[in-house]
């Protein structure tokens, strides 16, 4: 990135007059740029540090990581940990990984299937109950599974769905629905209605309009909603902790806590599994970085 890069390129509304101002200001002082780079480097180091510790830990041996005089860097690199870590006595980690994937994927698909039509319809049409519906969506955004866990627990016991993936798929979908509806709603609302009308004059049905005309236009919003939902489901902890009691059904977030407080925790395996679980979602989040906040606060920050 050039020294004179515009400061506001990354998020939100462009500020043209601002760009010009910063452009000239930044050409003035090299010293100030170096100072900013130093500040940026310190920020980078702090935010990467815990995950660096995690990574170094994951390639140490158990003896090394539990050594009374630990070394910061691994003295030998034990990549075989990434193979061996999947069989530990504490919890069936391969099944936990499968649980995490199944719950996150199906919950995301469910959110998409439910939120997209609702977002499209509320953005395009006025109907009695529309305001109430959007109000309900805001209310669910205020609620989190943690505070409702005891109710969820009793309900899924009654339904016979306790300790099943299905229960967690429904819970994750329900509590991530509101964000998906909001962001898709704002994207759909941004498409001129004339485009819909033109397609309908040409004989397209409403579903055809949604899938053939709207989707190609609003896909950035859809991708943002998908990634955000997926990451939230991937990391969900509180409800899974109570709803899923069988070790094999639990996602990694719950399973890994069983290592804490053990007499001899295999930290090198905990960190190997953590690295494997973290990297894909971090990459997904980085892909949508530019839309992260524009989406989150869509319509809420004026």
Residues 102-121, interacting with another protein (CB under 8 A): 110, 113-115, 117-118, 120-121
Q: Which of 103, 104, 171, 225 binds another protein (CB under 8 A)?
A: 171
Structure tokens at 168: 């967690």
Nearer to another protein, 89 or 192 (CB): 192
- Of the candidates 215, 157, 173, 224, the one whose C-alpha atom is nearest the C-alpha of residue 191 is 215
Residues 175-194: x/- map of binding to another protein (CB under 8 A)? x-x---xx--xx--x--xx-
Neighbour tally for 123: CB within 10 Å: 19
Structure tokens at 24: 């000239």
Q: Which of 149, 163, 164, 247 binds another protein (CB under 8 A)?
A: 149
Q: Which of 226, 256, 269, 272 binds another protein (CB under 8 A)?
A: 256
**Contact between 243 and another protein (CB under 8 A)?**
no
- Of the candidates 81, 87, 35, the one whose C-alpha atom is nearest the C-alpha of residue 57 is 81
Three-state SS sequence of 1-12: CCCCCCCCCCCC
Shortest distance, position 233 Cβ to another protein, whole Å: 11
**Contact between 44 and another protein (CB under 8 A)?**
yes
Nearer to another protein, 95 or 140 (CB): 140
Shortest distance, position 89 Cβ to another protein, whole Å: 18
Segment interacting with another protein (CB under 8 A) among 31-39, 74-82, 83-91, 217-225: 31-39
Residues 193-222: x/- map of binding to another protein (CB under 8 A)? x--xx--xx----x----------------
Reported for 186-191, long-range contacts at CB under 8 A and 24+ positions apart, including other chains, are 186/123, 186/221, 186/298, 186/299, 187/119, 187/218, 187/220, 187/221, 187/222, 188/119, 188/120, 188/123, 188/124, 188/214, 188/218, 188/221, 189/123, 190/218, 191/217, 191/218
Residues 267-296: x/- map of binding to another protein (CB under 8 A)? x--xx--x--xx--xx-xxx--x--xxx-x
> DSSP letters of 43-57?
HHHHHHHHHHHHHHH
Shortest distance, position 82 Cβ to another protein, whole Å: 16
**Contact between 128 and another protein (CB under 8 A)?**
yes
Q: Which of 133, 212, 215, 219 binds another protein (CB under 8 A)?
A: 133
Helix ranges, the chain (H): 16-28, 30-58, 62-65, 81-84, 93-124, 130-142, 145-158, 165-189, 193-201, 206-208, 215-235, 238-243, 252-256, 267-287, 292-296
Q: Which of 24, 28, 31, 72 binds another protein (CB under 8 A)?
A: 72
Q: Which of 31, 129, 203, 216 binds another protein (CB under 8 A)?
A: 129
**Contact between 75 and another protein (CB under 8 A)?**
no
Tokens 């140490």 appear where?
60
């Amino acid at each position: 990135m050039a020294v004179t890069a515009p400061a506001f390129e990354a998020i939100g509304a462009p500020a043209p007059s601002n760009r010009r101002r910063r452009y000239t200001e930044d050409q003035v002082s090299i010293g100030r740029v170096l100072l900013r780079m130093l500040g940026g480097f310190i920020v980078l180091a702090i935010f990467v540090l815990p995950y660096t510790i995690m990574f170094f830990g994951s390639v140490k041996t158990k003896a090394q990581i539990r050594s009374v005089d630990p070394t910061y860097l691994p003295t030998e690199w034990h990549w075989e940990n990434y193979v061996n870590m999947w069989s530990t006595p504490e919890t069936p980690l391969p099944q936990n990984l499968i649980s995490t994937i199944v719950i996150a994927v199906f919950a995301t698909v469910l959110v998409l299937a439910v939120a997209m039509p609702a977002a499209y319809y509320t953005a395009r049409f006025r109907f009695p109950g529309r305001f109430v519906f959007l109000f309900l969506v805001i209310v669910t955004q205020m609620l989190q599974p943690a505070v409702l866990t005891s109710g969820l627990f009793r309900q899924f016991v009654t339904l016979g769905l306790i300790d099943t993936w299905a229960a967690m798929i429904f819970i994750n979908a329900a509590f991530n629905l509101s964000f998906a509806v909001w962001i898709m709603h704002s994207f759909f609302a941004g498409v001129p209605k004339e485009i819909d009308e033109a397609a309908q004059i040409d004989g397209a049905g409403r579903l055809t309009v949604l899938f053939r005309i709207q989707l190609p236009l609003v896909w950035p919003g859809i991708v943002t909603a998908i990634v955000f939902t997926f990451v939230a489901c991937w990391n969900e902890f509180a409800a899974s902790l109570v709803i899923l009691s069988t070790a094999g059904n639990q996602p990694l977030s719950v399973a890994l806590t069983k290592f804490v407080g053990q007499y001899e925790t295999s930290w090198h395996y905990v960190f190997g599994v953590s690295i494997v679980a973290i990297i894909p979602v971090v990459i997904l989040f980085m892909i949508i970085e530019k839309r992260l906040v524009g989406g989150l606060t869509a319509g809420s920050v004026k």
